[in-house]
Amino acid sequence: MPYTYDVIIIGAGAAGLMCAIEAGKKGRKVLLVDHSKKIGEKIRISGGGRCNFTNINTNPSKFISKNPKFIISALNQYTQNDFIKLIEKHNIKFHEKKLGQLFCDESAQQIIDMLLLECKLANVTLKKEIIVTDINKNNDDQYIVAVNTDKYFCNSLVVATGGLSVPKIGASKFGYEIAKKFNLNIIEPLPALVPLTFSEKILSMCKELSGLSLDALISFNKIYFEEGMLFTHRGLSGPSILQISSYWKLGNNIKINLSPKIDIFRLLIDKKKSKPKQDINIIISEILPKRLASIICIENNVNGNICELSNKILNQLSNSINKWDIKPIGSEGYRTAEVTLGGVDTDEISSKTMMSVKNPGLFFIGEVVDVTGHLGGYNFQWAWSSGFVAGQYA
């Protein structure tokens, strides 16, 4: 049976919901479909259930894309302040946690409820548990969305299907398949904002220290992040590791400074002069958590009074703290990745409208596009901004 709409949006996540609201506000007849029974699952589980919905420091430098300038237009058209106004309009209380990250005081469900209410006010038709079986275009330049034997026609089709991260809540490659069908190039998708894994020697150390966290500066090439790092039974995690994972390339090393505020070698040389009888393990335990200090001393085969250790050995010890150079063997993959790196090539899309350059009326928004934000609410802001923009033009 045929149904006709002005705009059909596939994917009722953050970007799809925002697009539906904006298109509906403009008087467009909008159909929003999703394959899930529950809407906005990624919103619901984010930020420990409180949704890190944006960041007050949002700017283009906080995003990764083959074309870094692509992000500018959307972020200017709909800013973090615009989304904050929407939150305030619905009387949702929120707080800044750190580094500009904004979270709901109560629950991420408030964000979902707000978006669903806005959809209702904009007369959006929402259909859940809809499996799209095929997409085509007819001679009248209409897009045809097939759902089993039913056919839905529209002039504007918006793909907001997300990336490959967190498959347990329904992530799939469907958006990339649509892009390929309409001859759009795809930048290879990879897990991003994801814990890193290591070979047996490092892994056994991580297991022994599992649950221990500390602030660390982690770098790859000239990119670095100084935030919390966490040892786990699978490898290394925590904000600084998740951040660097988006830049790290397989086969390369990362550098970790376990004590970024202290020049360890200089401190040890000073201690050797001022407190020559002090035990080296005690000195390192004053700088690092005791379990970690003990392992580092054992690994470097150092013990006893500091006066008994040569400057060469102290330099080696300090490098293992300030310049720990290790090679990850991989990541935990899409299962625990917060987002997907890569996606629909931004060269294929208008930065002003989010519409395909080759296919008028076909839009791509949110995580399916080759735009990946840093940790801290930036990926949600990209969803709001890209969704808003597509909603103006769809």
Same domain, 12 and 123: yes
Alpha helices in the chain (DSSP H): 14-25, 41-45, 70-77, 80-89, 109-121, 174-181, 200-208, 239-245, 264-274, 280-285, 290-299, 311-322, 378-393
Among 231, 163, 169, 172, smallest CA distance to 202 is for 231
Same domain, 113 and 261: no
Q: Domain holding 206: CATH number? A: 2.40.30.10
DSSP code per residue over 350-361: -TTT-BBSSSTT
Burial environment of residue 377 by CB neighbours within 10 A (0 to 12, 13 to 18, 19 or more): buried
Alpha helices in 150-279 (DSSP H): 174-181, 200-208, 239-245, 264-274
Asked if 377 and 101 count as a contact pair (C-beta separation under 8 A), the reply is yes
d(C-alpha 389, C-alpha 379), whole Å:
15
Same domain, 13 and 81: yes
Asked if 5 and 152 count as a contact pair (C-beta separation under 8 A), the reply is yes
Same domain, 316 and 216: yes
Same domain, 161 and 249: no
Q: What is the pTM assigned to this prediction?
A: 0.96
Asked if 58 and 102 count as a contact pair (C-beta separation under 8 A), the reply is no
End-to-end Cα spacing for the chain: 24
Pick the last residue of a domain from 332, 349, 369. 332
Pick the last residue of a domain from 316, 332, 348. 332
d(C-alpha 239, C-alpha 242), whole Å:
5
Same domain, 199 and 280: yes
- Confidence band (pLDDT; 50, 70, 90) for 262? very high
The tens digit of pLDDT for each residue in 325-368 reads 999 999 999 999 999 999 999 999 999 999 999 999 999 999 99
Same domain, 89 and 201: no
Domain residue limits at 323: 195-332
Q: Is the pLDDT of residue 15 over 80?
A: yes
What is the number of structural domains in the chain? Answer: 2
Same domain, 301 and 351: no
Same domain, 323 and 344: no
The tens digit of pLDDT for each residue in 188-210 reads 999 999 999 999 999 999 999 99
Pick the last residue of a domain from 309, 332, 355. 332
Q: Domain holding 14: CATH number? A: 3.50.50.60
Q: What is the pLDDT of residue 2?
A: 87
Same domain, 125 and 264: no
The tens digit of pLDDT for each residue in 44-75 reads 999 999 999 999 999 999 999 999 999 999 99
Same domain, 270 and 174: no
Same domain, 35 and 180: yes
CA 115 to chain centre: 21
